[in-house]
Amino acid sequence: MFDNLRTRLSKIFKKLKGEAFLSEKNIEEALKEVRIALLEADVNYRVVREFLTLTREKALGKRVLNSVSPAQQFIKIVHEELVKILGEQATGLLTAPVPPSIYMLVGIQGSGKTTTCAKLGLILKNKGRKVLLAATDTQRPAAREQLKMLGEKIGVPTFTEGRTPLEIALSALKTSRKLGCNVVLLDTQGRLQVEEELMKELEVMRDRIKPTEILLVADAMTGQEAVNIASTFNERLSLDGIILTKVDSDARGGAALSMRMVTGCPIKFIGTGEKIQDMEAFYPDRIASRILGMGDIVTLVEKAEAVESEEDERMLKRLKANEFNLEDFLLYLQKMKSMGPLSKLLDYLPVEQKVRDIGLDDKHYKRVEAIILSMTREERAEPRIIDGSRKKRIARGSGTSVQQVNQLLKQFQFAKKRMKEMVKYGHLIKRKGWLPKLG
């Protein structure tokens, strides 16, 4: 996600690092490169122009500070302006004063409506809402079946009976009252492109159903095309929000960065994978941090909190007391794994590209686990005692080489250091909303 832009920006910031202060000249130079980076990321040109104007104004007006570097100062400004174009505040879903809340998901074919319906259903179900899915796509032969299967997967009922989309939607509403559901998610049919017939049908459905919110599901991979589609849908249906899907497969990020300013509609969620859990609420500030390669520590902390147990508390204490050992490391890795694929988690961490490359990917995980499990308890608790002959024994026991054991020990030291920083930063970022010592 945003990989290209992140790499480009980090190069620009690196260049600024050598400067003594922010001058008109180095600001202009940096901005010129930021402009190219944004255009290459397929960001709408009007958004780019606006962004540069605001950033320039702010950067030129900045007092020279002694305690931070020009790169840090510049990153902070870019961060603030990115947050602005992404929509500033996170926007949740409106709840209807009288249940059920009805969310109508619209969009063109293949954008991810049906999948998103189930993902959203799961999020709302986990918040304690009683959800009913309604499959109104009568066009695609297996569409209703697809939603039904997804409904079963997340453990919520799916309504599919009726001849026409409107008939299905109306009956679904009745059924939701009967079942005591307070949320109805309407999956609608799409077309390969924006077509008059579809728009009319959706307008009729909107007028009859009176949804609490109409949400456009748009495919991030289609870049500016997604933005154009959003504009058209917005003109006809007056959207309440956008759910951007397939953000995981979109290295550029142009749709995410242009959507809000061009359409005026907030992005409410992003789809980050094909699995049913792969969706998250959209937080402009966290996304901006990810784009800047600062890592999204707040999200990471929250994800960690979601699987938190007493064990974690103990681990955190040990980390603070500098007692964190290989056994904790293994537990930590297992925990990370339960939060999702390790490679994905790296997106949230403030690590450099080269660390990402050698880092904790899923392939390494099995080997790491085997090595640690081949150690004695004593060795895990006190890694310092692992000398040459112990390393040989561990390598033999785990089917690895001494070199790989060495590598793991190094990784462990590195992770320990990193985690201590994260704990520190995690608290700071919650308190101050900003990462210290950047750049």
Ligand X SMILES: Nc1nc2c(ncn2[C@@H]2O[C@H](COP(=O)(O)OP(=O)(O)O)[C@@H](O)[C@H]2O)c(=O)[nH]1
Binding site for ligand X (CB under 6 A): 107, 109-115, 190, 245-246, 248-249, 271-274, 278
The least CB distance from residue 106 to ligand X, in Å, is 9
Does position 114 interact with Mg ion (CB under 5 A)? The reply is yes
H or E element in which residue 187 lies:
strand 183-187
Shorter beta-carbon distance to ligand X: residue 344 or 420: 344
Of Mg ion, ligand X, none, which one sits near residue 246, judging by CB under 5 to 8 A according to partner kind? ligand X
Nearer to ligand X, 201 or 379 (CB): 201
Our finding on whether 116 is near Mg ion (CB under 5 A) is: no
Check residue 263 for interaction with Mg ion (CB under 5 A): no
Shortest gap between Cβ of 274 and ligand X (angstroms)?
4
Nearer to Mg ion by Cβ, of 82 and 143: the residue is 143
CB of 280 or CB of 379, closer to ligand X: 280
Query: CB of residue 143 vs Mg ion: minimum separation in angstroms?
Result: 5
Q: Count the alpha carbons within 13 Å of 153 in the hemisphere toward its beta carbon.
A: 16
Distance of closest approach, residue 248 Cβ to ligand X, in angstroms: 5
180 binds, among Mg ion, ligand X, none (CB under 5 to 8 A by kind): none
Partner whose binding site includes residue 112, from Mg ion, ligand X, none (CB under 5 to 8 Å by kind): ligand X
Measure Cα distances from 419 to 308, 411, 423, 425 in Å. 16, 12, 6, 10
C-beta closer to ligand X: residue 274 or 323: 274
Alpha helices, DSSP H only, in 192-296? 196-209, 224-237, 254-263, 284-291
Q: Which is nearer to ligand X, 191 or 335 (CB)?
A: 191
Nearest approach in angstroms of CB 118 to ligand X is 8
218 vs 230: CA distance, rounded Å: 7
Give the whole-angstrom CA distance, residue 14 versus residue 38: 17
* Cβ closest to ligand X, residue 151 vs residue 273: 273
- Which of 68, 64, 63, 74 has its CA nearest to residue 27? 74
Q: In whole angstroms, give the CA distance from residue 179 to residue 173.
A: 10
152 binds, among ligand X, Mg ion, none (CB under 5 to 8 A by kind): none
Please report, to the nearest 10 degrees, the dihedral formed by the alpha carbons of residues 370, 376, 378, 384 taken in order. Answer: -50
- Rounded CA-CA distance 16/285 in Å is 23
**136: contact with Mg ion by CB under 5 A:** no
Q: Is 69 in the site for Mg ion (CB under 5 A)?
A: no
Q: How far apart are CA 186 and CA 17, in angstroms?
A: 51
| Phi, psi at 191, each rounded to 5° | -125, 170
Q: Which two tokens stand for residue 306?
A: 């979601």
The binding site for Mg ion (CB under 5 A) comprises 113-114, 143
